[in-house]
Amino acid sequence: MEKTDINSDLYKIRHSLAHVLAQAVLEIRPDAKLGFGPPIDSGFYYDFDLTEPLSTEDLPMLEKRMRQIIKKGQVFEREELGHEEMVERLDKDNQGYKIEQVEDLSAQNEILSLYRNGPFWDLCEGPHVDSTRDIPKNCFSLDSLAGAYWKGSEENNMMQRVYGLAFETGDELKEFKEKRQLAMERDHRKLNIKQHYYAISEEVGKGLPLWLPNGTVIREELEKLAKEKEFLAGYKRVSTPHITREELFHTSGHLPFYEDSMFPPMEMDGERLFLKPMNCPHHHMIYKAEPRSYRDLPLRLAEYGTCYRYEQSGELAGLLRVRGMTMNDAHIYCSPEQAKEELLNVLNLHTQYYELFGLKDFWMRLSLAEKDTGKFVDEPELWQKAETLITEVMEEVGVPYEAVRGEAAFYGPKIDFQVTNVIGREETASTNQLDLVMGKRFGLTYIASDNQEHTPIIIHRAPLGTHERFVAFLIEHYGGAFPTWLAPLQVRVIPVASAFNEYAHGLNDSLFSSFVRTELDDSHDSFSKKIRSAAVAKIPNILIVGENEQAGQTVTWQRYGSKDRKTLAFDAFIELLQEEILKRQDWRTDDQ
RNA sequence: UCCUCAGUAGCUCAGUGGUAGAGCGUUUCCUUGGUAAGGAAGAGGUCGGCAGUUCAAUCCUGCUCUCAGGCUCCA
């Protein structure tokens, strides 16, 4: 992701606005304690610890004060201070958070500097504009209030964060707001209101979506796709239960490494049963159900497995974050010699999917373990081997990637596929792990050609992630206008007047018996109204029939979002449509 | 889990300390000819829930639930 250059005008403007905001807040809340106040992608924010909280109604007034400050032409001046002196000055102003920050900076031997503008000063490394007058008029606006933990840690105090938008010109600010508005229209929760993909019912529970008929179509089409791809790639399908005895999760290490994210256990007949948060332990048990020879490897076990994870309620968001989810899961058990090729095949499968959906904006994130955090299984040698292998494969695939320490699964390094959704938020679309640990923990073995027992390497992979997240992502990606193969309703037949209902009815029946998801609009609406309704519902194909069509046994075919019309024989239409569905084409992006 | 915002008809939203409003959608009837709203009538609401203040609360106060934006977490 691009970062604004620290010496650019824009960075200086945003950074300086953060100081101006803090100054304005201190004017109305003199006892405010300052936290962090950095520039960000769309502007800036500043964190405050306040005895009397700000309300959104205060924002216009704060913004006005900011403009007044800017008009004064306050000059930014830098000063460098020693540790003692800086702490002393901050202490005098009662800025405890800043003192903590000074201690952290000093520990890293950073130079301590402050910036002063007018009556305000702040611990800061800069840079800033020369004078507040250099901040263009109308280039910013205060955006929202939010809570934010001090230093981003749940353990710490909750501060109040004020977000501001800021750009180099007022036009850019306006443009950003318009774009954001458009993006909000594509939010899957918003589209869901009209398109009815899923429902979340209070009676059923938070984070436990009910899939309505429309959403289920998309889910099942994805599942069909995955099953075909996996079949051709030599996967075997399996099926496993949702609840499981405690012992299995001790073996896997989910207890205690993952217990916080699991639903509390059910007690029965003196034993404890958990809802599974992942499918891996079960697949391992399937591996273990028979003795394995190197001739059985690689063994690829696939399942659309439903898992339950206890997410905190504030984290739940439509279909994007839920508590019950169905994963496009599979585990590949292989020998060390096979691991590289298997991993490569898995990554290639991802790129095939992404090409199919026309997703271009993605990158890979390599998540590695971090020592001594207690978050990862303690097998340094195996970790080392896994990380070397996975890095090699990443290099070979050639898709750009970014390595992050400390983000691995507790049993192995991860390759995540990161995508940016329409709202600009980064999401993990799928996650894949290379696991040298679990084979050993579960006592999985195979007899190799040397007639000795060996432990297989396990690759966890889920290219389509979970139905919940992936469908949400696709709804936003397509803006609710799906290609024919995915669309809940593929065709609507519209007679130009009721006199042609009978002919239209016949066409609709034929399509239906060819397994096309089709509907006849024989309502009493005017013809224009019917066209509009079909467009509003974003149905990919409409068929218009009237006198001409009836006479020639033809249909007039029109795509969603297009004014082009084509009149062709009905049989020819069915053939074309079936081919498009079978090949999973998108008429907007594929040449036909 | 916490911070801020918001909950009025299926949806989008007005509104008032004194019997609840619009548009769209829906239902019924009339109408029907070629590309984004034909007409008429009707149904539809414990104004999120509980408690308090008041002669009277959808409106004011408190609590609670849900939702949205953050933070944290993450598929």
Closest C-alpha among A35, A53, A55 to residue A45: A35
Domain's final residue, options A421, A450, A478: A478
Domain at A575, CATH number: 3.40.50.800
User: Do the beta carbons of residue A98 and residue A90 sit within 8 Å?
Assistant: yes
Q: Which helix (H) or strand (E) holds A420?
A: strand A414-420
Q: Can you read off the two tokens belonging to residue A469?
A: 């997240």
Domain containing A156 — which CATH number? Answer: 3.30.980.10
The nt closest to A557 (CA vs C1′) is B35
Report the alpha-carbon distance of residue A189 to residue A203 in Å, rounded.
19
Q: Quick check: is A516 in a domain? A: yes
Are residues A47 and A94 located together in one domain of the fold?
yes
Q: How far apart are CA A177 and CA A496, in angstroms?
A: 41
Q: Structural domain tally of chain A? A: 3
User: Measured in angstroms, what separates residue A66's CA from nucleotide B27's C1'?
Assistant: 56
Cα–Cα distance between A81 and A89 in angstroms, integer?
10
Q: Which of A478, A500, A533 is the last residue of a domain?
A: A478
- Scanning every strand, the nucleotide with its C1' closest to A58's CA turns out to be B4
> Would you write out chain A's pLDDT as a tens digit for each of its 592 residues?
345 677 888 999 999 999 999 999 999 888 889 999 999 888 999 999 988 888 887 888 899 999 999 999 999 999 998 889 999 999 999 898 999 988 888 888 888 899 999 999 999 887 999 999 999 988 999 988 888 888 888 788 888 999 999 999 989 988 888 888 888 888 899 999 999 999 888 778 888 888 999 999 999 999 999 999 999 999 999 999 999 999 999 998 888 788 888 888 898 889 999 999 999 999 999 999 999 999 999 999 999 999 998 887 767 778 888 888 999 999 999 999 999 999 999 999 998 999 999 888 788 888 888 877 777 778 888 888 888 888 888 888 877 788 888 878 888 889 988 887 666 667 788 889 998 889 999 999 999 999 999 999 999 999 999 999 899 989 999 999 999 999 999 999 999 999 999 999 999 999 999 999 999 999 999 999 999 999 999 999 999 999 999 999 999 999 999 999 999 999 999 999 999 999 999 999 876 5
Contact A375, A257 (CB under 8 A): yes
Q: Supply angle C-alpha A127, A132, A133, rounded to 5.
A: 125
Q: How are beta strands A43-49 and A39-40 bridged, if at all?
A: antiparallel
Which nucleotide lies nearest residue A545, CA to C1'?
B34
Examine residue A394 and state whether it is found in any structural domain, yes or no: yes
A436 and A457 Cβ atoms separated by less than 8 Å: yes
The enclosing domain of A457 has a CATH number of 3.30.930.10
Provide, in whole angstroms, the distance separating residue A187's CA from nucleotide B26's C1'.
26
CA atom of A201 to C1′ atom of B9, Å: 19
Radius of gyration of chain A (CA): 29
Nearest nucleotide to A465 (CA to C1') is B75
Note the CA–C1' distance, A394 to B37, in angstroms: 55
Burial of A3 (0-12, 13-18, 19+ CB in 10 A): exposed
Residue A86 shares a structural domain with residue A173 = yes
Nearest residue to B34 (CA, C1')? A496
Q: What is the distance between the alpha carbons of residues A249 and A476, in angstroms, rounded to a whole number?
A: 36
A212 found inside a domain:
no
- Å: A406 CA to B56 C1': 63
Residue A66 CA and nucleotide B65 C1' are separated, in Å, by: 38
Do A471 and A552 belong to one domain? no
Length of chain A: 592
Q: A301 near A275, Cβ under 8 Å? A: no
Residue A276 in any domain: the answer is no
Same domain, A448 and A517: no
Full residue range of the structural domain in which residue A551 is found: 491-582
Query: Is residue A244 a part of any domain in this protein?
Result: no
Predicted pLDDT of residue A1: 33
Note whether residue A464 is domain-resident. yes
The whole-angstrom separation of Cα A222 and Cα A488 is: 12
Instruction: Name the nt closest to A523 by C-alpha to C1'.
Output: B32
Residue A239: what are its φ and ψ, rounded to 5°?
-145, 135
Among A557, A254, A280, A245, which Cα is nearest to A410's?
A: A254
One-letter amino acid of A540: P
**Do A472 and A497 share a domain, yes or no?**
no
pLDDT at A4: 63
Dig out the tokens for A68 from the structure.
């007044």
End of a domain among A430, A454, A478? A478
Residue A517 (CA) to nucleotide B32 (C1'), in angstroms, measures 27
Q: How far apart are alpha carbons A41 and A22 in whole angstroms?
A: 19
Residue of least CA–C1' distance to B30? A524
Question: Shortest CA–C1' contact from A193: which nucleotide?
Answer: B11
Residues 6+ apart with CB under 8 A from A487: A217, A517, A539, A540
Q: Are residues A438 and A367 in the same domain?
A: yes
Q: Are residues A445 and A297 in the same domain?
A: yes
- In this prediction, residue A423 carries a pLDDT of 61
Å from A193 (CA) to B15 (C1')?
25
Closest nt by CA–C1' to A319? B75
Same domain, A20 and A99: yes
| Separation between the CA of A154 and the C1’ of B1 (whole angstroms) | 8
| DSSP letter for each residue of A149-214 | EGGG-TTS-EEEEEEEEE-SSHHHHHHHHHHHHHHHHT-HHHHHHHH--EE--TTT-TT-PEEPHH
User: CA A542, A547, A512, A475: dihedral to nearest 10 degrees?
Assistant: 10
Distance CA A477, CA A592 (A): 22
Structure tokens at A298: 């690689």
Shared domain check, A411 and A312: yes
| Nucleotide nearest residue A322, measured CA to C1' | B75
User: Which bases of chain B are under 7 A from a protein CB atom?
Assistant: 1-5, 11-12, 25, 29-39, 65-75
Strand A299-308's sheet: what is its strand order? Answer: A236-237, A299-308, A324-334, A457-461, A426-435, A414-420, A362-368, A401-405
The CA distances from residue A488 to A84, A215, A216, in Å, are 67, 7, 8
C-alpha–C-alpha distance, residues A457 and A412, integer Å:
11
Instruction: Report the protein residue whose CA lies nearest the C1' of nucleotide B68.
Output: A317
Q: Are A324 and A207 in contact (CB under 8 A)?
A: yes
Q: Are residues A495 and A462 in the same domain?
A: no
**CA–C1' distance A91–B4 (Å)?**
29
Assigned domain for A275 exists: no
Distance CA A150, CA A128 (A): 24
Q: Are residues A169 and A313 in the same domain?
A: no
Is there a domain that residue A332 lies in? Answer: yes
Tokens of A354: 């992404």
- Asked if A512 and A546 sit in the same domain, the reply is yes
